[in-house]
Structure 1
Amino acid sequence: MRKIILIVALLVTTIAISQRKAKVHNVNGIEVYILAEPVRNYEIVNTAKNSIKWGSYITGGLINQSISTKVSKFIKTLLKDYTQEGITFDAILYTSGKNMTAIRFTEEATTNNKGIATVHKLNGIPFYVMSEPVEEYKYIGTIGKGIKWKSLVTAGILNNSIEEDLVKFAKKVENKFRKGKINAIVYSNGKKAISIKI
Structure 2
Amino acid sequence: MFSRLNFKAPVATIVALLFGWIILLSYVFPLGGLESLRNDILSWVVIATAAALLIGVINLFSVHVGKIRNRQGSVFYSLILVLAMILTFIFTLIQGPEGEIPRWLFTYIQIPVESSLMAVMAVTLTYASARLLTRRMNVFSVLFGIGLLLALFSINPVFGVQITFTRVLASAGARGILLGVGLGTIATGLRVLIGSDRPYGG
What TM-score, normalized by structure 1, do the two folds share? 0.21
Structure number having the greater helix percentage: 2
More strand by share: 1
Q: Which protein has the larger Cα radius of gyration, Structure 1 or Structure 2? A: 2
TM-score for both structures, normalised by structure 2: 0.21
